[in-house]
Amino acid sequence: MAKVNSEYAIETISLTKIFPDWWGRAKVIAVDDLNFKVRHNEVYGLLGPNGSGKTTTLKMLLNLLHPSKGRAMILGGVSGDTKITERIGYLPEDSYLYRYLNAKETLDFYGRLFGLPSKIRRQRIETLLEMVGLTGMANRPVGTFSKGMARRIGLAQALINDPELLILDEPTSGMDPISTRQMKDLFIHLAKRGKTILLCSHLLADVEDVCDRIGILYGGKMQTEGEVKTLLQKSDESQIITDALSDDALAKIRQIVESEQSKCEISSPVDRLEDFFVRTVASAQQQHVPTSGAVNTATIGGFLVEESDKEHGVLEKLVTATVEEDKPIAKADVGTERVEAAPVNEEKSSLLDQLAGNKLEQVETDQEQAEEIEHIETVEEVNRALLDGLAGTDDKNSATEHTKRDNPQEADDA
Amino acid sequence: MHKVWAVARNTIAQAVRMKVAVVVIVLLLVVLPVMSFIVVGDGTLVGKLQTFASYGMSLVGILLCVLTISMSAYTLTSDLKLKQIFLVVSKPVCRYQILIGKFIGIAIIDVVLLVVFSSIIFGLLVAMPRLSDAPPHEIETADREFFTARIGLSEQIDRKEIEKVAIKRYQELERTGQLPIDMSPARILKELQGQERLKRRVIESGAQKVWEFENVRPVAGTKVVFVRYKLRVSGGYEGMQVKGAWLIGDQRNQEQFGPGVWDSPIYRLDTSDVLEMFHEFEVPVDAITDDGYLAVMFNNLFVNSATVIPEEMEVLYKAGSFGANFTRVSLMLLARLIFLTALGVSLSTWLSFPVTILVCFVIFFVGTVNGFVLDSFGYIEAKGIMVLYNFTFKPLLWLFPRFDGDFNPTRFMISARLLSWSFLGQVYGTMVALKSLVLLIIGFWIFSNKEIARTIV
C-alpha cells in the first residue's frame, strides 16, 4: 500500500510562520525555523503546551496556512496537490462537521470528495460507523452529537480513504476514557499495518502510549526530539514485578538489596483510574443499562487492514486480536515497551474484551462472568489493602513494588 | 465533476436546512393564490390579470433574489467561519471545484424554485378567466391583450434632427443676447431639445398628426393589430376626456394621385378618451400594406378646443404565444438570480457574511434603479466632476447589473409584449456569460490564494 517515493513521510525545512497584525507588522512568531522529519510507518508525536505552534505546523503541512518562510513537504510533495491529499487523512483539533448532515451523509460527503465509487463508499461507511460505535445513530444529525461522538465521526472521516498518512490534532479531546483507550489501540494497530501517523497533542498519556518518536515544541521551536523509549528510560533503576509475596519473602528481598548497597521500596501496585473506569463501565454494559450515547465496539474497518494484513485476513476484533498478539496493549500500565512488558493477568485483559460489545457478550459463559466478579473483588481487595497501607505511612507517594513503567517519576520520588 | 457535485449536494442540503428558505417558500405558497383572488386592477378581467401578473412576478422575483443573496452569501462564509472548510480543502478537491460546487448548488435551488413558482403563477393566470365571472367579451379581450406576445413599434424620433434644430436655436439666442444667464450651456441645450421634441408632438385644436410605421409584420393568421397610446393636454383644460378621429391606412398615394387612390383600405374611428391613461384599439390587418407600412393619423377635433399631446404611441401586433413568452420571462428572471449567485459566492471568498450580504443588497438595489442612477448623473453640470464621473463611476455602473427598464421581466407580462429569444440571449450573454464569469474568476483567484485558517492577531 505504502508507496515510498521519498525518504520521509513528512519533512519540514526551516518552516516559519509569522502572524502579522492588521497593519502587516509581525506580531506573533507561531513557528520558528522548524525542522523535523517523520519517517514512513512511524508514529510521531508532536507535543507542546498551548500556543506552542503544534496546530499551526499541521495547518501549514495541510496547506491551510502558507508558511512565511521555509517549506513543508508531505509524502514527497506539497499538500495543495490533490495527488498528495488523496493519501492523507486529517482529523482537526475540533471535528468541524456539517451539523445538518447525519452521520451517514457526513461520511458519504467526504467519501465523494475522495472520488470513491459508490459501492466502496457504502461498504466503508458501514464498517467505519460500526468501528466508531455509531451504527445506531447513523441517521441522526451530527449537530445533535456530543463532542466525543462528533470526534468519532471525525475519526471515521479521516479514515474513509484508507490513508497512508494520518494527521491527528488532539484526537482524544472530549472523549471518555474508554474511547480514548480504544482510539489509542486503533492508532497502534494502524501503525502496525504500515500507516504513518503524526499525532499532535498535549495529553502526554496519549502520546506516550502510542508514539514511537516525539518532538516537544515550545515557542514555535523544537526543544527536544527522540524516541520515547530512549527519552524516558532510567538506566539507574531496576524494577521487579511479581505476584503478591509473603512478608517473609519480602524481608529476604530487602536483605538482598541492602547487601547490594541499594535502596529498596516495596508496595502493592496502584491501579490506574483509567482501568478502574473501564471496568465499571464494562460491568454496566454487561447489565444492559440503557444509554443514548455511543456504544463501544472494538471492531476495526476491514478495508483498513485487508491489504497490508493479508495473512490475517479481516481482523474482526481489535481488542481481542491485540490481546492475543500483544497482550500488554490491553493493559494500561504497559506504556511504550509493549513487546517486552510484564506478564499480564488474563482476567484483566478480558475486561476490555467486554467492551467489544454484543458479539463478545453472547459467547461469554456464566463461568467467565463468575471469574470476572471474582476478579473485581480481588482488585478491590488490593485497593483496600493499599489504602490501609497509605494510612499507615506518612509518605504520600505511593511507592510500589510494581513500579509502573509509565510512571518512573514515582519510583524516583519514593 | 463528481467532487463538484458532492459540494453542490452539500450546499443544497445546507440551504434547505436554512430557515429563511422555508419562510420564503411558505410565504409565496400562501400569498400567491390569495393574491390571485383579491386583486382587482381597474375592474376588468385584463386589469385583474395584469395586476396579478405584475405583483406576483415582482414578489417572486424580489423574494427569490433576496433568498439567493442570503444563500450565496451564507454558504461559503459559514463554512469558513465554522471552519468546516478545513476538512473540505484538506481533501483532494481543487478550490475552484468548491466554488463551482457552491455556485451550482444554489443555481439548482434557484431553478427548482423558479420552476415551481412560475408554474404556480402561470396556472393561476390561466385559471383566472375561468374562475372569474367575467362576461365573454372581456375574456376575448384578455385573450387578445394579455394571453399573447406582441411586438410593439414605437414612433421614431429623429434625434440628430432635433439636436441640429436645438443648436440652431441656441446660436440664434446667443446672437440676440437672450440666453438665460443662470443656466449652463449644456442645460440650455437640453432644454431646447426638450422644447423641440414637444413641439413635434403637440397637436393644436383642429390639427392632425400622422405616425408612420415601417416593417410591421404580424405572424400569419393575425386578424388585427393594436394601436396603443396615451393622451395629455397642455394646461388649462377642464375636461376629463378628449374627442378625436383616427384615420388608419396608407394615405401616401393621396398626395400624388388625389383622394380615393389608396393602397389599403382606410379605417376611421372616433374616440373619446380619458386623459393620462393608456388606450388601445384594434385595426384590421389589411390596413397594413404588403411592404409592411402602416400610417396612423389623429385629428384633434375642434370641439376639444385644447392642444393634445399624444404620448408613447405604439403599434402592437401578435408575434408569439403567451406560454413561450412566459417561459422566456421566467428565464430572464433566472439570469438575474444566476448573476446574484455568482456575486454572493465571489464576494464571500474574501468578505464576511454581514459585509457580503450588505454589498450584494447594495448592488441589487443599484441594479433595480440603474437607469435612474444613470439619468440622475447625466445632469451633473460641473465639467470637472463630469470627467471624473465618466472615467470612474460610469464604467463601474456598466459592471453593475441592470434589472430595470427593458431588463425588468414583469414589464413584458403586463403589456403582453414579446420578449425575443435574441434579447434573452443578449441578457444571458452579458449577465451570465460575461459578468457572472468575471465575478467567479475573481472569486477563484482570491480563494485559491487564500490562507484558509488565517487569523489576524
pLDDT tens-digit map of B171-184 = 888 888 888 777 77
| Contact: B87, A157; criterion CB under 8 Å | yes
Which of B82, B90, B446 to mutate against chain A (most A CBs within 10 Å)?
A: B90
CA distance B399 to B394: 9
Q: What is the mean pLDDT of residues A236-261?
A: 83
Same domain, A70 and A169: yes
Give the pLDDT score at B30: 92
Same domain, A178 and A320: no
Same domain, A36 and A167: yes
CA distance B173 to B163: 15
By the CB < 8 Å criterion, does B19 face chain A? no
For chain B, percent of residues with pLDDT exceeding 90: 34
Q: What is the DSSP annotation of B239-293?
A: -SEEEEEEEES--HHHHHH-TT--SS--EEEEEEEETTSEEEEEEEGGGS-TTS-
Residue-wise pLDDT for A352-366, tens only, equals 444 444 443 444 445
Q: Among residues B55, B54, B88, B69, which one has the least CA distance to residue B24?
A: B69
Q: What is the mean pLDDT of residues B412-428?
A: 89
Instruction: List chain B residues with CB under 8 Å of A101.
Output: 10, 13
Same domain, A92 and A210: yes
**Which of B27-41, B73-87, B244-258 has the weakest average pLDDT?**
B244-258
CB A109 within 8 A of CB A116: no
CATH of domain B204-318: 2.60.120
* A266 is a domain residue: no
CATH number at residue A140: 3.40.50.300
* A370 is a domain residue: no
* A124 is a domain residue: yes
**Which of A246-260, A263-277, B62-76, B310-324 has the weakest average pLDDT?**
A263-277
CA distance B66 to A48: 48
| Domain ranges, ordered by start, for chain B | 2-148+322-369+404-448, 150-201, 204-318
Instruction: List chain A residues with CB under 8 Å of B455.
Output: 19
CA atoms within a 13 Å half-sphere pointing along the CA-CB vector of B45: 23
Q: How confident is the model at residue B1 (pLDDT cuts 50, 70, 90)?
A: confident
Same domain, A204 and A291: no
* A246 is a domain residue: no
* A239 is a domain residue: no
Cell of A235: 538506566
For residue B107, pLDDT over 90 is answered with: yes
Which residue from A minimizes the CA distance to B454?
Answer: A65
For residue B32, pLDDT over 60 is answered with: yes
Residue-wise pLDDT for A55-74, tens only, equals 899 999 999 999 999 999 99
Angle of the A318-325 helix axis to the A346-355 helix axis, nearest 10: 160
Query: Could you tell me the CA-to-CA distances from A144 to A97, A98, A104, A126, A139 in Å, in that order?
Result: 11, 11, 14, 20, 11
CB B278 within 8 A of CB B41: no
Amino acid at B363: I
Residues 413-452 of B with CB under 8 A from A: 451-452
For residue A5, pLDDT over 80 is answered with: no
For residue A334, pLDDT over 50 is answered with: no
- Residue B227: strand pairing partners: B281, B315
* A31 is a domain residue: yes
**From the CB of residue B386, how many other CB atoms can be counted at a distance below 10 Å?**
15
Cell of A389: 497501607
Q: How confident is the model at residue B359 (pLDDT cuts 50, 70, 90)?
A: very high
Residue-wise pLDDT for B393-418, tens only, equals 777 777 778 888 778 888 888 888 88
By the CB < 8 Å criterion, does B1 face chain A? no
For chain A, percent of residues with pLDDT exceeding 90: 23
Same domain, A298 and A197: no
By the CB < 8 Å criterion, does A23 face chain B? no
N-term to C-term CA, chain B: 38
Query: Could you tell me the CA-to-CA distances from B145 to A300, B45, B320 in Å, in that order?
Result: 72, 11, 13
For residue A394, pLDDT over 80 is answered with: no
B16 CA: distance to closest CA in chain A (Å) = 10
Same domain, A125 and A183: yes
Give the pLDDT score at A346: 40
Same domain, A157 and A216: yes
Containing domain of residue A178, as a range? 8-231
Output the CA angle A356-A362-A363, nearest 5 degrees: 90
* A392 is a domain residue: no
Q: Of the candidates A231, A265, A289, which is a domain's last residue? A: A231
For residue A215, pLDDT over 80 is answered with: yes
Give the pLDDT score at A296: 62
Q: What is the mean pLDDT of residues A181-199?
A: 89
Q: How confident is the model at residue B455 (pLDDT cuts 50, 70, 90)?
A: low
Give the pLDDT score at B95: 92
CB A104 within 8 A of CB A138: yes
Residue-wise pLDDT for B367-397, tens only, equals 888 777 767 766 666 666 777 777 777 777 7
A39 CA: distance to closest CA in chain B (Å) = 21
Which of B14, B83, B87 to mutate against chain A (most A CBs within 10 Å)?
A: B87
Give the pLDDT score at A401: 38
* A55 is a domain residue: yes
Give the pLDDT score at B117: 94
Domain count of chain A? 2
Give the pLDDT score at B380: 61
Q: What is the mean pLDDT of residues B432-452?
A: 92
CA distance B107 to B5: 12
For residue B436, pLDDT over 90 is answered with: yes
Q: What is the mean pLDDT of residues A235-245?
A: 79
A341 CA: distance to closest CA in chain B (Å) = 38
Give the pLDDT score at A385: 58
Same domain, A180 and A283: no
Which residue from A minimizes the CA distance to B5?
Answer: A112
For residue A313, pLDDT over 70 is answered with: no
CA distance B227 to B247: 12
Give the pLDDT score at B56: 92
CA distance B37 to B45: 12
For residue A324, pLDDT over 60 is answered with: no
Pick the more confident residue, A405 or B108: B108
- Which residues are within 8 A (CB) of B224 and not within 5 positions of it... i.e. 6 or more apart? B144, B282, B283, B284, B285
**Which of A183-197, A376-390, B370-384 has the weakest average pLDDT?**
A376-390
Give the pLDDT score at B110: 94
Which residue from A minimizes the CA distance to B18?
Answer: A100
- Among the partner-chain residues A19, A64, A98, the one whose CB lies closest to the CB of B84 is A98
Q: How confident is the model at residue A312 (pLDDT cuts 50, 70, 90)?
A: very low
Q: How confident is the model at residue A376 (pLDDT cuts 50, 70, 90)?
A: low
By the CB < 8 Å criterion, does A92 face chain B? yes
Q: What is the mean pLDDT of chain B?
A: 86
Residue-wise pLDDT for A252-268, tens only, equals 888 888 888 888 777 77
Same domain, A51 and A154: yes
- Which residues are within 8 A (CB) of B456 and not within 5 positions of it... i.e. 6 or more apart? A19, A20, A21, A22
CB B145 within 8 A of CB B280: yes
